[in-house]
Structure 1
Amino acid sequence: MKKKTRKLKKTQKDRERMQNLGLIPSSIKKYIDAMIVIYPPKFRYNCRVEFFYYIIITIIKRQNTFENKPLANAPVALNATILKGIISNYEEYLRWLVEMEVIELAVNYSAGHHSNKYCFTDFILMSFEKVPELEKVEMKALESDNIIVERSIEDSDIYKENKHLLKWFNDKLEIDFDGALNFIDNYINEKYTYVSGDYRIYSIEPEKVACKRMHWVNHISKLHHKVFTATRNEESDFRLHTVLTNFKKIFKPFVTYDSKKLVAFDLKSSQPYFLVYLISNLSSNRSRYVDRLCRKVYGVRLCTFMLPILKETLSGKGFAEEFFQLQKWVLEGRLYENLALILKPEKCFTGGFNNVVFIKELKIKHPVSFDTERELLKSVFIRALFCKNDSTDEYYLRLKEELPNFMRVLEILKEEDNAHLSRLLQNIESRCIIDYVTKKIAKEYPEMPLFTIHDSIATTVDFEAVLGELMVRYVEEFTGFKPKVAKESWDFEPCTGQETEPKRLIK
């Protein structure tokens, strides 16, 4: 009884909650179901087939994250604490899936470096050569004293605080599923294959094509099957993550709400914009909120030593001159164009611009090509914000030469952990867009559907003009700086026939 009524910390609640519904490729589900009959698992406790589904769904989800997308069938780590919280003998389930050739152990555990990492076998990838069918499965059988199963998005622990946004995830939010499926098949055939005689030839490995197809179908199926989820972790980025958060641009034209097309407004150069807000407030001691946020992200102990050093650097004449110029460039919307004048990148023989990046997953340095100078400089600046201080990147070192005082401030903010600054800026963005701007708009126009994708707010076309005006007004009200906002129409014209790819690995 005590276990049922014990009071959990917020972090424990987050760890012990799971969604009731999930999507799994039908081919994998049927194979697992058949193998359970032919080779019944001999576990210490009764086998719960839903946990097999949960593992597969989790691997697909993790492979579909931003950092793993370029790698297709990427090896991913599974959180042992979460798995053990659901099923104590989780390792037996993983071993059985490996023995049945559903998944394979791609990377072995290394103490202090990484966990075991799993990916799908070639045998399983073969089933995705055609557009795969996905099946909706329930996880309520995994519910226990320690596990809270959320039956719907309304049951999530964050629904009440974010109801003004989450209430729009209902039956009126739809996708032209058949149209999107046809698009996937045609797009992959045109982009990655060509026909020579009677043979289809792939420009990349067939297994990567198959995996990409499966991930994209999973992407659109969540909307089609109304598998709506929402998370918002105060201990990390505090962003609101939903089914639309990582929605690919090429599928947005197929989405409607109440049979109406959607249109979004993006905050241009949002990370530099919120950096200006952060530094301005730290310099002037205007915002108690920023000081509280720094203490939350960095911890009281670290802030005790960091903030005095930071504020001393901010008060210097050299920094004031550099920051005044950078702030002007950001607010005028010409940051990357002006950085190009300072760094003077050279075109390569192909007409584009090259840089070398470190691919963490592969542990190698690799050249990357950018079509335009602006794309290159955007990548350079964002990486300067979030890379480690000992980076040997050519452009990072040149920025330190050209803007030494500004770069010193960035390095103080990243000194203990380079992830601290990104968390700080994401928390500010979330507080601004989710907790201030959209709540103001929802109060003024309660009938306006609102969907957020981090620094972007979307609505139906009939509220387009209102949203564009109010977003600018309320973002400026929050930060004190007038933002640059760009409209993105979720229609076919800007997306037809080509996926937006800002950078490409050079082969």
Structure 2
Amino acid sequence: MTKKPLSNNKTARKLTRNEKQRITIANLALIPSVIKDYIDALIKAYNPTFTYRLKAEFFYYIITTIIKRQNTYENKALENIPVALNATILRGIKSDYNEYIDWLIEQEVIFKAENYVHGLSSNKYCFADFVLPSLKLDSTSEIVEMKALESSKVIVARSIQESDVYEENKHLLKWFNDGLEVDFEKAVTYIEDLSYHEGEVVDLTHKKVHWNHQISTLHHKAFYATRNEESDFRLHTVLTNLKKIFKPFVTYEGQELVGYDLKNSQPFFLIFLIDSILNSNSRIDNILSKIYSKKVYNTFMLQKLREVLSTEDFQKEYEVFKTWVLNGEIYENMESIMNPKKRLGSYFANKYIARKKVTEKKKMDNVRALMKGVIFTLFFSGVNTRNSDYKTFKKVFPNLVTVIELFKKNANANFSKLLQNIESECIIDFVSKKIAKEYPEMPLFSIHDSLSTIESYAHVLEDLMHKYVFEYTGLMPKIEEERWKKFDYQIDYKKKVELHPEWY
């Protein structure tokens, strides 16, 4: 039986100093009913004997954590990929946590990936073939409470107000309350009927497991919030993991949501980064110090950066690239230098799949999407990539690419972390806080580089987002409006049903 979620409207008490040093996990979690029923039946039948007293909730926590991590941005395909579990959190909950993982493996609920290398990589887990068919046949989920997992090292937050990031992000997180709703029945029907996704008629069964989990989490108001200063520093919530195709079903107090995205955000923040170094803007210093050691940045990196940035050749390249970005036409202009070719009426991009260690061709709907992929390859691939698009771009902008590669010198991931930290400080810690202070009554939600509100405040948000992004960066941004109810994919889907009813 589904347990009733605790109220999210309770006043949160302040944490003590000792509590602040403890790890915080959310009390409410969503687990597929078929897995929970299977685990409960096995526990009842065999009563597994562990070092310390058995807590079934720990099994549920492991399962829900795997699903949540499979629902991340990195797993765009929403496949059953192996994901790492946080050993520090697991050990804080139960010192004998490996007994629980081993038991789930023995019962063929999960399995451990074989690419683990001691000292070099973490153990990774995904669902076993034994349970996958059941997940695909029955997508219902159940809310479970994790209060039993509280320990001297772990706090179980009864609501989002008790999460360890609530106070510093209260201006955004306070709106995760009973007013935030999803039209659950229509969303479920939409998932059941969907067989066409991202340009292809494909087997969507495992994606649907994740999609149902996303909308069920929102429907049951199992709200959560995380923000890790050691990684991207982005604010992650139930909305940041929600697939765009479900936006038309989401409302706040019955009103439509309207979002404003910072166009070309990653290239935009690259321009801000370079301008800040050129102009010795102290605003960037704190972010750089989080990603790079003072020794690395102040000696080698800063010296090399200033050396390249001061050259005439770089200045010429940078003027062109900066104009493209600030005019919001970077992808359109890149088409002229990349000269993409259509095959069989479509564009195709070479995409390296790390877990398979192969390069696959991915069909792209339009040339803009193709060029966006080139930028992401430029920003997030390794400096030794063999990607042909990367090489073509580097021929046209060799000095700009040299600057980007300097930020990747010690680790490829450092550059993406740097841009994401800049984005987060700008949008979360500056822009949204300024807006919330000026209009405290305006509902405000963030999804990385975008902010959303209800329709009656849309014009206010649009004006203020322009104003405060400019105030933070000194650059005039291009802001795109996105009406959640009129999301293009929903419209396209209806047209596809009319044109190809046999697919549905």
Normalised TM-score (structure 1): 0.90
Counterparts of 2:26 and 2:33, CA distance in 1? 19
Residue correspondence of structure 1 range 332-481 to structure 2 within 5 A: 332-348=327-343, 350-481=344-475
**Cα distance, 1:443 vs. partner?**
1.5
**Residue 32 (str. 1) matches residue 1 (str. 2):** no
**Residue 82 (str. 1) matches residue 89 (str. 2):** yes
**Cα distance, 1:80 vs. partner?**
2.6
Q: Secondary structure at the match of 1:148?
A: strand
**Residue 488 (str. 1) matches residue 495 (str. 2):** no
Counterparts of 1:72 and 1:204, CA distance in 2? 13
**Cα distance, 1:269 vs. partner?**
0.2
Q: How many residues align?
A: 478
Counterparts of 1:40 and 1:120, CA distance in 2? 22
Report the AA paired with residue 124 of structure 2: K
Identity %: 51
Deviates more, 1:361-370 or 1:161-170: 361-370
Q: Deviations over 1:425-461 (max 9, x none)?
A: 1111111111111111111111110000001110001
C-alpha contact 2:71 2:78 (8 A) present in aligned 1? no
Q: Which residue of 1 aligns with 2:6?
A: none
Report the AA paired with residue 258 of structure 1: E
C-alpha contact 2:188 2:212 (8 A) present in aligned 1? yes
Q: Which residue of 1 aligns with 2:132?
A: 125
Report the AA paired with residue 297 of structure 1: I
**Residue 234 (str. 1) matches residue 229 (str. 2):** yes
Q: Which residue of 2 aligns with 1:196?
A: none
Q: Secondary structure at the match of 1:340?
A: helix
Q: Deviations over 1:290-326 (max 9, x none)?
A: 1222122111121122111111111111101110111
Report the AA paired with residue 190 of structure 2: F
Q: Deviations over 1:239-273 (max 9, x none)?
A: 11111012111111111111111010111000001
Q: Which residue of 2 aligns with 1:47?
A: 54
**Cα distance, 1:111 vs. partner?**
2.3
Counterparts of 1:114 and 1:293, CA distance in 2? 27
Q: Secondary structure at the match of 1:392?
A: coil
C-alpha contact 1:450 1:457 (8 A) present in aligned 2? yes
**Consecutive aligned runs of 4 or more in structure 1 exceeding 4 Å deviation:** 4-8, 202-205, 497-500
Counterparts of 1:428 and 1:277, CA distance in 2? 9
Deviates more, 1:362-371 or 1:489-498: 489-498
Counterparts of 1:25 and 1:493, CA distance in 2? 29
**Residue 141 (str. 1) matches residue 138 (str. 2):** no
Q: Secondary structure at the match of 1:277?
A: helix
Distance 1:351 1:315, change over 3 A: same
Counterparts of 2:62 and 2:138, CA distance in 1? 22
Structure 2, unpaired ranges of 5+: 1-14, 495-504
Structure 1, unpaired ranges of 5+: 193-201, 501-507
Counterparts of 1:191 and 1:406, CA distance in 2? 36
Normalised TM-score (structure 2): 0.90
Counterparts of 1:493 and 1:228, CA distance in 2? 24
Counterparts of 1:288 and 1:106, CA distance in 2? 45
Counterparts of 1:474 and 1:493, CA distance in 2? 26
Calculate the aligned-residue CA RMSD, in Å.
Answer: 2.2
**Residue 309 (str. 1) matches residue 287 (str. 2):** no
**Cα distance, 1:497 vs. partner?**
6.1
**Residue 321 (str. 1) matches residue 316 (str. 2):** yes
Report the AA paired with residue 446 of structure 1: P
Counterparts of 2:365 and 2:240, CA distance in 1? 26
Counterparts of 1:158 and 1:232, CA distance in 2? 7
C-alpha contact 2:187 2:246 (8 A) present in aligned 1? yes
Deviates more, 1:369-378 or 1:263-272: 369-378
**Cα distance, 1:107 vs. partner?**
2.4
Q: Deviations over 1:48-73 (max 9, x none)?
A: 11100011001111111122241521
Q: Secondary structure at the match of 2:490?
A: coil
